[in-house]
Amino acid sequence: MTGPRSAVVYNPAKVPDIDHLRRIIGEGLSSVGWPEPSWYETTPEDPGKGQAERAVKEGAELVFACGGDGTVMAVVTALAGSDVTMAVLPAGTGNLLAANLGLGADPATGVQVAIEGGRRRIDVGVVEGGRCFAVMAGMGFDAQMLEGTSETAKKRIGWLAYVGGAVRHLRDRPMRARIVLDGGPPMPRHARTVIVGNVGRLQGGVRLLQEADPADGKLDVAILSPNNLGHWARLSWAVVRRRKRVPLMETYSASRVEIHTRQIQPRQLDGDLIDPGRHLKIHVKPSALLLCVPVPAGDPDLAYDVSSAAEAAEDIREAARE
């Protein structure tokens, strides 16, 4: 057989039918003569980084990441800076990177995208301790929203569950923060949240950062400062309408971002909570991740048209059902 050696790093808690996933991937790869992949299961202690590193040591040239946002983030951290390709197979609820790729929740389409051979290098953000993210990091309200959303609700109604988590914290007090961009003078703010993005789309297809480009060597920063329900309504309406100027939101771009707060705040990377803290220091690692993307690759925010891959994926699903 010819083709790259591949591996699958999967989270068993996010994959409802592992046998079906094995058939989907196996049928897809065998249809083009690629060898069978190796399989690596994540654990609560290691959500995917160690498994992806082991896969690379054992010869994998392509790693499929199948799980929630935490699994994808762990694999990104393992592969950033290497020549090993990453392919996203959506599972879980948030699926932020998959959403920005336009993959939806269909692993067969993700397999077909990998087979078709579209590849693109994108930047990644790096936080203290070496953890990487491909979509967004945040401190404040966005992490509170994640913290306030139950796993049960996410399984029942998908990304809409985050709305409930958000409503619980709309009236919370702003945090006193200092934001430092590229070593410049501190910018004091009474902010509800500070988001540092590599791409621009949130859950539900909402685009927060209009200018975000994952291959420009920069990170985009949004400082949101609403302090009552009316402010939230104005800000949300402008974001949904994709207005260039959004009230109560400042945007910047930088290679290095520091967020310092007086009190401990919740923090998140790519939709996955990390330990709360008073600081979040981030820098960009340009062109660090080689990613499978749909063909043709023309949209700078990675929201490509995957219709051709989706049609071809039906053949994979049919074969897997037989």
187-219 per-residue burial string, b: 16 or more CB within 10 A, e: under 16 = eebebbbbbbbbbbbbbeeebbbeebbbebebb
Task: Please tell me the predicted confidence (pLDDT) of residue 80.
Answer: 97
Task: Please tell me the predicted confidence (pLDDT) of residue 317.
Answer: 61
Tell me the pLDDT tens digit for each residue of 92-101: 666 788 888 7
**Cβ-Cβ contacts under 8 Å for 107 (sequence gap 6 or more):** 21, 24, 25, 66, 89, 90, 91
- What pTM, to 2 d.p., does this model score? 0.87
Task: Please tell me the predicted confidence (pLDDT) of residue 7.
Answer: 98
Task: Please tell me the predicted confidence (pLDDT) of residue 33.
Answer: 94
Q: Which of 124, 134, 64, 61 is nearest to 97 (CA)?
A: 134
Ordered mean pLDDT values, 10 residues apiece, the chain (322 residues): 88 92 95 96 96 98 94 96 95 77 80 92 94 95 82 65 73 94 98 95 79 94 95 92 91 98 95 93 98 70 53 60 64
**Domains of the chain and any CATH numbers:** 6-118+293-321 (3.40.50.10330), 132-285 (2.60.200.40)
Answer whether the bond into residue 296 is a cis peptide, omega within 30°.
Answer: yes
Task: Please tell me the predicted confidence (pLDDT) of residue 45.
Answer: 95
Tell me the pLDDT tens digit for each residue of 161-180: 667 777 777 888 999 999 99
